[in-house]
């Protein structure tokens, strides 16, 4: 580690580079753990498809899980863990540690009470929740076995909502204190538990496995909270029962919570709408869309989610210091890294969609037909990968300046466009692929509106260097995608006739070939962002 600069030795890093390295360091920690979580998530999805296949039973489990899972996306991975950061930071900075922890205890108990009430109401309204999240087709077409199982599964999993709200609050507190490891580890718990359930129950009756999986979801929520408690205690937290729902801190939290939660929910409603309408196409379409979306979320969670998590404290500090130039540098650096990662990821997913899906999901109850149908959805989701990532990178800027109405409006407009396109495209030969394409187009609209309504000089963020990097990365990505596609076409006969090990080897080889082509292009064009990213990750490994 280099020594601090002295009076005779000027600092070697500019403020922009210092911020960028701090962000990349935190993002590297989150990315590494999130990578493990997402790898385990892919393994989990493979176990689920092999155990439950791609029929109505698997569709029903996914629809029943969607209600509490929406809270995971909105609270656990988004707004609640994000908007507690500026309030907790403000209390600690201006009124001291004790006042900050009092607010934390009040927020934890108050949110537990609120979500506990919602959990009880949700248990009684389980049937209508299942209908709202995709079970309407079973109600209208008189499928009592689907409706009964879906209602049962919702009642089991609805407490997951309350557990995730508590966990999200704890995540935000730890992020504020500069601790990212334990909150990121919490995302591994659900995957490990569900893999264990599938492993133990692989020979069971599918109905029994489905019920066991639902109980596993609830157990994972409790374990996630237990994992973060020691880290909070180590950093000064002590549990004190404080229940003041109308305190100053809570009123500020409410003011942020309603529009922020609504905005994040709208961003994910597109996925729910996809699944809701997929049940009206044919059995299995919910499965195809769900796991194709998971594959797209893989790079998003590792890189875009990690960057968004890491830059929020820096943006909040820049806002507090009224450092507009530093804020713009931070956003510019994050967007450049985002493009460098997600343009090639888009090309790779489109070119190698079928071998990737086949290797991960095909086997036992999931056949080659299911692989082709899932790959069809994956292609259209991948089209919107850069837009999905861009939205995640820009949202922390709005959160940092506590502007939560703009993301709400942009998300609402995108949702309306998505629903309209869904209804139009699902009736075409695209079928469930049309639902995925509509979601990607809606994300692009959302991103465009977020950029247009930033309210600052966008030229300082989207400067010539960013435009040049975008053009260079796009050319390299197209070249990489063409090489991967040609390689796949040449090896396809061998792939289709070979055992799983050979198919996995071919897929990994093609991914490695594409990576090598892109890396060679980066070196040839001297794109320094990639070199800096690798240096930071090596230093933090």
DSSP symbols for 206-230: HHHHHHHHHHHHHHHHHHHHHHHHH
State residue 54's pLDDT score: 81
Residues 356 and 408 in one domain: yes
Residues 360 and 404 in one domain: yes
State residue 42's pLDDT score: 87
Residues 243 and 338 in one domain: no
Residues 177 and 256 in one domain: yes
> Count of CB atoms within 10 A of residue 8's CB?
5
State residue 322's pLDDT score: 67
Q: How many helices (H) and strands (E) does the chain have?
A: 22, 0
In a domain, 47, yes or no: no
CA angle, residues 404, 410, 414, in degrees to nearest 5: 140
Residues 232 and 134 in one domain: yes
Residues 154 and 208 in one domain: yes
Query: Any idea what DSSP says for residue 9?
Result: S
Angstrom distance (rounded) from CA 475 to CA 481: 10
State residue 240's pLDDT score: 86
In a domain, 523, yes or no: yes
Gap between the terminal Cα atoms of the chain: 14
| Domain boundary pick from 228, 261, 294 | 261
Cβ contact 473:339 at 8 Å: yes
Residues 361 and 476 in one domain: yes
Instruction: For 132-185, give the DSSP string.
Output: IIIIHHHHHTT-HHHHHHHHHHHHHHTHHHHHHHHHHHHHHHHHHTT--HHHHH
Angstrom distance (rounded) from CA 365 to CA 48: 10
Residues 125 and 231 in one domain: yes
Angstrom distance (rounded) from CA 58 to CA 52: 6
In a domain, 13, yes or no: no
Q: Which helix (H) or strand (E) holds 277?
A: helix 248-278
Angstrom distance (rounded) from CA 171 to CA 180: 8
What are the CA-CA distances from residue 308 to residues 69, 95, 334, 393, 419 (Å)? 20, 27, 9, 5, 27
What are the b/e assignments for 304-342, b being 16+ CB within 10 Å?
bbbbbbbbbbbbbbbbeeeeeebbbbbbbbbbbbbbbbb
In a domain, 481, yes or no: yes
Angstrom distance (rounded) from CA 325 to CA 503: 50
Angstrom distance (rounded) from CA 355 to CA 44: 18
Residues 371 and 446 in one domain: yes
Cβ contact 96:25 at 8 Å: no
* Residue-number span of the structural domain to which 87 is assigned: 56-261
In a domain, 464, yes or no: yes
Cβ contact 391:443 at 8 Å: yes
In a domain, 111, yes or no: yes
| Helix 324-351 and helix 368-382, axial crossing angle in degrees, nearest 10 | 150
Cβ contact 312:82 at 8 Å: yes
Q: Over its length of 541 residues, how does the chain's per-residue pLDDT go in tens digits?
A: 333 333 334 344 454 555 555 555 565 666 677 678 878 888 998 889 888 888 888 889 988 988 777 766 665 555 566 677 778 888 888 888 888 888 889 889 998 998 899 899 999 999 999 998 888 888 887 888 889 999 999 999 999 988 988 888 888 888 788 777 788 777 789 899 999 998 888 778 888 889 999 999 999 999 999 989 998 888 888 888 889 888 888 888 887 776 666 656 666 677 778 888 888 888 888 899 989 988 998 888 777 766 776 666 666 666 666 666 666 777 777 788 888 889 999 999 999 999 999 999 887 778 888 889 999 999 999 999 999 988 888 887 787 677 778 888 888 899 899 999 999 999 899 999 999 999 999 999 998 998 888 766 666 677 787 888 888 899 999 999 999 999 999 999 999 888 889 999 999 999 999 999 998 998 888 777 676 656 544 544 4
Burial of 141 (0-12, 13-18, 19+ CB in 10 A): exposed
Cβ contact 503:495 at 8 Å: yes
Residues 359 and 453 in one domain: yes
Angstrom distance (rounded) from CA 375 to CA 63: 21
Helix (H, G, I), strand (E, B) or coil at 366: strand
Residues 311 and 207 in one domain: no
| Helix 79-95 and helix 385-400, axial crossing angle in degrees, nearest 10 | 30
> Count of CB atoms within 10 A of residue 535's CB?
12
Cβ contact 257:83 at 8 Å: yes
Residue whose C-alpha is closest to residue 111's, from 262, 239, 277, 242: 242
Residue whose C-alpha is closest to residue 295's, from 360, 241, 244: 360
| Domain boundary pick from 229, 261, 293 | 261
Q: φ and ψ at 403, to 5 degrees?
A: -100, 100
Angstrom distance (rounded) from CA 60 to CA 147: 8
Cβ contact 458:332 at 8 Å: no
Domain count, the chain: 2
Residues 329 and 256 in one domain: no
In a domain, 8, yes or no: no
In a domain, 138, yes or no: yes
């Amino acid at each position: 580690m280099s020594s601090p600069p002295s009076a005779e030795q000027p600092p070697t890093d500019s403020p922009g580079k210092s911020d960028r390295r701090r962000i990349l360091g935190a993002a590297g920690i989150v990315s590494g753990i999130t990578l493990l979580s997402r790898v385990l998530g892919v393994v989990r999805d493979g176990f689920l498809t092999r155990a439950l296949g791609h029929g109505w039973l698997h569709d029903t489990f996914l629809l029943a899980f969607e209600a509490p899972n929406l809270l995971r996306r909105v609270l656990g991975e988004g707004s609640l863990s994000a908007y507690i950061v500026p309030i907790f930071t403000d209390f600690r900075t201006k009124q001291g540690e004790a006042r900050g922890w009092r607010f934390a205890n009040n927020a934890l108990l108050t949110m537990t009470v609120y979500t506990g009430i919602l959990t009880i109401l949700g248990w009684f309204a389980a049937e209508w929740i299942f209908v709202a999240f995709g079970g309407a087709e079973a109600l209208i077409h008189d499928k009592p076995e689907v409706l009964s199982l879906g209602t049962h599964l919702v009642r089991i999993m609805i407490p997951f909502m309350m557990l995730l709200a508590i966990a999200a609050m704890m995540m935000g507190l730890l992020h504020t204190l500069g601790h990212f490891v334990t909150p990121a580890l919490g995302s591994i718990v659900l995957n490990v538990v569900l893999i264990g359930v599938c492993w133990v129950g692989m020979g069971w009756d599918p109905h029994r496995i489905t019920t066991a999986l639902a109980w596993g979801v609830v157990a994972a929520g409790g374990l996630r909270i237990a994992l973060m408690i020691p880290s909070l205690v180590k950093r000064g937290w002590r549990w004190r029962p404080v229940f003041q729902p109308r305190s100053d801190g809570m009123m500020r939290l409410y003011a942020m919570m309603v529009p922020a939660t609504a905005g994040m929910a709208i961003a994910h409603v597109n996925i729910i709408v996809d699944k809701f309408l997929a049940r009206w196409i044919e059995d299995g379409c919910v499965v195809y869309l769900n796991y194709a979306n998971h594959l797209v979320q893989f790079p998003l969670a590792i890189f875009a989610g990690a960057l968004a998590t890491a830059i929020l404290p820096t943006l909040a500090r820049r806002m507090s210091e009224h450092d507009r130039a530093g804020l713009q540098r931070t956003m510019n650096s994050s967007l450049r890294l985002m493009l460098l990662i997600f343009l090639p990821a888009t090309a790779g997913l489109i070119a190698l969609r079928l071998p990737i899906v086949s290797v991960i999901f095909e086997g036992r109850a999931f056949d080659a037909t299911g692989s082709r149908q899932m790959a069809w959805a994956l292609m259209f989701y991948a089209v919107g990968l850069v837009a999905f990532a861009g939205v995640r990178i820009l949202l922390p800027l709005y959160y940092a300046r506590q502007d939560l109405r703009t993301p709400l409006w942009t998300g609402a407009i995108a949702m309306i466009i998505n629903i309209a396109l869904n209804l139009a495209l699902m009736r075409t030969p695209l079928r469930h692929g049309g639902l995925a394409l509509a979601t990607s187009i809606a994300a692009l609209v959302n991103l465009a509106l977020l950029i247009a309504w930033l309210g600052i000089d966008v030229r300082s963020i989207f400067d010539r260097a960013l435009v040049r990097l975008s053009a260079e990365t796009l050319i390299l990505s197209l070249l990489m995608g063409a090489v991967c596609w040609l390689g796949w076409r040449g090896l396809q006969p061998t792939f289709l006739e070979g055992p799983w090990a050979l198919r996995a080897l071919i897929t990994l080889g093609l991914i490695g070939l594409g990576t090598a082509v892109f890396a060679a292009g980066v070196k040839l064009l001297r794109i320094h962002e990639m070199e800096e990213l690798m240096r930071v990750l090596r230093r933090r490994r």
